[in-house]
Structure 1
Amino acid sequence: MNTDSIDAQREKAKADLKTALATHNGDTKEIAVAEAIALLSSLNPTPNPAQNQTLLEGNWILISAPNFPGKLSDEANRYVYTLGRLAFNKFEPANLRVAIERVSQPIFFKEQENDYSYDIVVEFKIIDENFPELQGVVKNLAVCSPVEDDTLQVMFTGGELIPAVDSDREQIKQWLEIFGSSQTKSQISLLERLTFWLVQKMFSMSQVSAIDPTTGKQSFAIDKSPKGKLKLLYLDEELRITQGNRKSVLVCQREV
């Protein structure tokens, strides 16, 4: 089989995958999507993808459904979660309802540490009826490094919560009223609060910093980083498909 024929198959497989994702709301567990992923993965043009710095680097946009646990039902079929589900239940109010608008991953080589940035940047809108519809960003900060030719090890190092970059002064004021030091703790059960405490203790997570009155930023650090492995099923100049420890599959497209 000649190269042109393989390239044509690959382009068709990519188009079919995007169509399947659009049809099934990005759910990679749907049979049609899983089959499209399997076919495209069999046509992976990049040997040893974890070692390919040129293709790994870039700002990658998630085009499949987010895989955070605890997705809430929503009449508009949006990706709705509590704020706590997006970042180790560190930021309050943890039970604030938010809709994910975009997830991205800026991956760039860090020469001093000999690894890559692997932050998960979640842009969201508050959809809780008790709060204004502000937009914000949760960043799960992480690094990754190759451990096999097709596998990366990912280590989380902390998190940040900030308003959207285009927030005006009035929006920043509203943001501070919601997330500032005067806000009350979420009403959650004693068992849930104990579970959160144990997880934070296990990974030696710092307390969330005081909110910055100018930028609205809050952050925390993780000293004993939870680690996971990520297998690269497909990688080229346009698409990246990965499979995590729990067999969750994510499809990302390089931002142009």
Structure 2
Amino acid sequence: MIDKTELLKTIAGKNRGLLAGELDKVEILAAIARLEDRNPTPNPIERGDLLDGNWRLLYTTSRELLGFDRFPGFKLGQVYQCIRTDSGKIYNLAEIIGLPWLEGLVAVAANLEVISERRVNVKFERAIVGLQRFLGYQSPGEMVKQIEVGKKFSPIDFNIGDRDRQGWLEITYLDNELRIGRGNQGSVFVLTKDI
């Protein structure tokens, strides 16, 4: 598909949006819109077979996510969104690269509530922050398994459900390897299925 190849070429080298200038952002958003117009999955929420899995972030306009790169001595590593439709859960994981032995991880677990065939409400319930080695972090899938069985992590593992932290996510493009979503804060997310 030409539009998908065009989008991937346009976001290549932009480090998930960290290196995108204003002109780049305009070109990327235009390429995203062209691909969204050709969405092969009109009811993505009903397609758990495509949605389920671990998705790696390729590009975003989210200031919140890209902001992790502003801390001195640390860089934003890989970012994952792990979807489990059978349990109605979503897990966001951001790897933070620092000095050797000081690589960090920020993980957030949330409940999904289906609103329409394209949109879900996301209610955040738990956050985990710490050094990867002390959390026993090996991969996004393994981390999600540990969170799902209720494992508690130290030093920072807290419930955020009572803080009314929520938003929504609309899936505007979905195939077996690429997903595009738009969030309530106007952010765009382009992700690839991590196999």
TM class by shorter-chain length?
Answer: 0.7 to 0.9
Matched ranges for 1:18-167 at <5 A = 18-27=8-17, 30-65=25-60, 67-69=62-64, 80-82=69-71, 98-111=74-87, 115=88, 117-126=89-98, 134-165=102-133
| 1:123-166 Cα distance to aligned partner (Å, 9 max, x none) | 11236xxxx66112110121212211111111100101232259
* Aligned match for 1:244, one of 176, 183, 186: 183
The structure-2 alpha-carbon separation of the partners of 1:54 and 1:17, relative to structure 1 and needing over 3 Å to count, comes to same
Matches of 1:49 and 1:165 in 2, distance apart?
36
User: How many residues are paired up?
Assistant: 174
Matched ranges for 1:2-17 at <5 A = 11-17=1-7
Matches of 2:125 and 2:73 in 1, distance apart?
25
Q: Are 2:172 and 1:233 equivalent residues in the alignment?
A: yes
Check conservation: 1:59, 1:255, Cα contact below 8 A.
yes
Query: What is the CA distance between 1:70 and its match in structure 2?
Result: 8.6
Check conservation: 1:70, 1:81, Cα contact below 8 A.
no
> For the aligned residues, what is the CA RMSD?
2.7
Query: What is the CA distance between 1:25 and its match in structure 2?
Result: 3.9
Check conservation: 1:136, 1:161, Cα contact below 8 A.
yes
Aligned to 1:172: none
Indicate the structure (1 or 2) with the bigger Cα radius of gyration: 1
Matches of 2:55 and 2:190 in 1, distance apart?
9
Query: What is the CA distance between 1:167 and its match in structure 2?
Result: 8.6
Matches of 1:157 and 1:118 in 2, distance apart?
10
Check conservation: 2:60, 2:188, Cα contact below 8 A.
no
Q: Which structure has more RCO (C-alpha within 8 Å, separation ≥ 6)?
A: 2
Q: Percent identity?
A: 27
Matches of 2:185 and 2:161 in 1, distance apart?
23
| 1:99-145 Cα distance to aligned partner (Å, 9 max, x none) | 1111001111244xxx2x21110111236xxxx66112110121212
Q: Which structure carries more strand by proportion?
A: 2
Q: TM-score, normalised by structure 1?
A: 0.60
Query: What is the CA distance between 1:18 and its match in structure 2?
Result: 0.9
Check conservation: 1:51, 1:146, Cα contact below 8 A.
no
> Structure 1: any 5+ residue segments left out of the alignment?
1-10, 73-78, 83-95, 169-211
Matches of 1:133 and 1:97 in 2, distance apart?
13
Matches of 2:96 and 2:40 in 1, distance apart?
34
> Structure 2: any 5+ residue segments left out of the alignment?
137-151
| 1:55-94 Cα distance to aligned partner (Å, 9 max, x none) | 110100001146243956xxxxxx6134xxxxxxxxxxxx
Matches of 2:116 and 2:54 in 1, distance apart?
22
